[in-house]
Amino acid sequence: MTIQAVVFDIGETLTSDTRYWTDWAHWFDVPPHTMSALVGHVLAQGLDNAEALRILRPDCDIDAEWQARQAAGQGERLEESDLYPDVRPALRRLRDAGLWVGITGNQSAAVTGLLRALDLPADAIATSGEWGVSKPAPAFFERVAEWAHGERPRTVYVGDHPANDITPAKAAGLRTAHLRRGPIGLTTRAPDADWTVDSLSDLADLIIRQLD
């Protein structure tokens, strides 16, 4: 069945989390390597990556810490260097092939504007903060299905996280592509994904071949 739309997750699909965690490391005054190791530790236990911050400060109120960072001028930021190198070429190829391209994931509403400011080759950008519902909730993927300009069996959701991206997107009737990128994407399998790819370039090749 010919694909009509491709929707991309954000973190560790389009953007690297490297600087995000480096900024937290600086805020907590620990080496970036230590922060990376802690994030890997909690992910290996199946915990939310925010638990890495609570290892450093067990009584940490993460929302309060985030507000303190914002007050100190260290809030949300997103730069060209945060994008993986294959992002722009792959999205552009898909759009040039006539596909509708969307971007949405678990991010604050502020990230929506930051992503739009990067002028990515996408037809629409949204975030869970803007929608008021987060992955892996079924309501998030219902929103994706209504938002994307394609029938459900002709819409692909692309992400690195099997539990947050692939399984719930499949349950909503979407096609799925598991991207082996980032700590979760590289260490977990997604047997229910329609495709598993190592890069967005590979994904673009795969989808465009199906259009011929």
Provide the pLDDT for residue 63: 80
Between 105 and 43, the higher pLDDT residue = 105
pLDDT band at 69 (very low <50, low <70, confident <90, very high): confident
Q: What confidence score (pLDDT) does residue 60 get?
A: 84
In the chain, % helix, strand, coil (3-state, to 5) comes to 50, 15, 35
The residues spanned by each domain of the chain are 5-16+83-211, 18-71
Write the DSSP assignment of 103-146 as a string of letters: EEES--HHHHHHHHHTT-S-SEEEEHHHHT--TTSHHHHHHHHH
pLDDT bin (cut points 50, 70, 90) of residue 61 is confident
* Region of poorest pLDDT, from 66-80, 93-107, 121-135, 188-202: 66-80
Query: Residue 211: is its pLDDT beyond 90?
Result: no
Q: Bigger pLDDT: 198 or 62?
A: 198
Q: What is the pLDDT of residue 108?
A: 86
For 203, the enclosing helix (H) or strand (E) is helix 200-211
Average pLDDT score, the chain: 93
Asked whether residue 212 carries a pLDDT value surpassing 80, the answer given is no
pLDDT in tens, 122-165: 999 999 999 999 999 999 999 999 999 999 999 999 999 999 99
| CATH for 5-16+83-211 (3.90.25.10, 3.40.30.10, 1.20.1560.10, 3.40.50.1000) | 3.40.50.1000
- Write down the pLDDT at residue 209: 92
Statement: residue 1 has pLDDT above 80: no
Tokens of 9: 């997750």
Of 14-23, 57-66, 145-154, give the lowest mean pLDDT range.
Answer: 57-66
- The more confidently predicted of residues 189 and 43 is 189
Q: Residues 75-84: what's their mean pLDDT?
A: 91
Sign of the CA dihedral with 196 first, then 202, 208, and 212 last: negative
**Is the pLDDT reported for residue 62 higher than 90?**
no
Place of tokens 């100190």: 72
**pLDDT for the residue numbered 71:** 85
